[in-house]
Amino acid sequence: MSANPEAAKHKEIPIWNAENWFYEDFELGHKIRSIRRTISEGESMLFNALVLDMHPYVADQIFASKEGRFGRRLVAGAFVFSVGLGLVATNCVNAFSYGYDKLRFIKPVFIGDTIYTIRTNLEKHPKYEDMGLVKASYEVFKNEGDLVLYCEHLQTVKYRDPQTSRRVQE
């Protein structure tokens, strides 16, 4: 017996920040923009410690300021990628990540920089019997609009009605 007799009804409440989009709902050219987020030293170093990235450019202030090309510490590209995509991540219960293409680190991001992301639906096509493939670009900008990262995310997305959707077997 549950401590809360109403707990069984919780599943009837819609999940916050979750979408129920299907393949047919993705409109080409549709864009979303994230809120901005300033990257702090603490979270940058925590990420570095978690992934064991202690490269002097991201972890050594003396090296970065005296010997480094940029004169100050960088934020690890993998962290910029993770945060940048997370800023516009949707919680679509019908989509599954298929991979990333064309990942490029265009400009450095430094501790204290503020980033935001724009996601654009680029293309879609049938892929499997029950899912299509959607490609979206992610452009991560810092401060007042300098592009720092670009990549394309591929997702498989369920068809609303697989019986009537055009399908392609791979």
Computed over its alpha carbons, how large is the radius of gyration of the chain?
20
- pLDDT-based confidence at 137, cuts 50/70/90? very high
Which among 160, 89, 71, 145 is positioned nearest to 114, based on CA atoms? 145
Which among 135, 122, 130, 123 is positioned nearest to 167, based on CA atoms? 130
Residue 167: per-residue pLDDT: 47
User: What percent of the chain lies above the pLDDT cut of 70?
Assistant: 95
Three-class secondary structure assignment of 75-108: CCHHHHHHHHHHHCCCCECCEEEEEEEEEEECCC
Superfamily of chain region 21-158: Hotdog Thioesterase (3.10.129.10)
- DSSP label at residue 165: S
Res. 170: pLDDT tops 80? no
- pLDDT-based confidence at 6, cuts 50/70/90? confident
Residue 169: per-residue pLDDT: 44
Residue 158: per-residue pLDDT: 96
Q: Kindly tell me the number of DSSP H helices and DSSP E strands found in the chain.
A: 4, 6
- Global pTM reads 0.88
The domain limits of the chain are: 21-158
Which among 110, 111, 118 is positioned nearest to 147, based on CA atoms? 118
Across all residues in the chain, what is the average pLDDT?
92
Per residue in 90-115, pLDDT tens?
889 999 999 999 999 999 999 999 99
* SS3 label, residue 65: helix
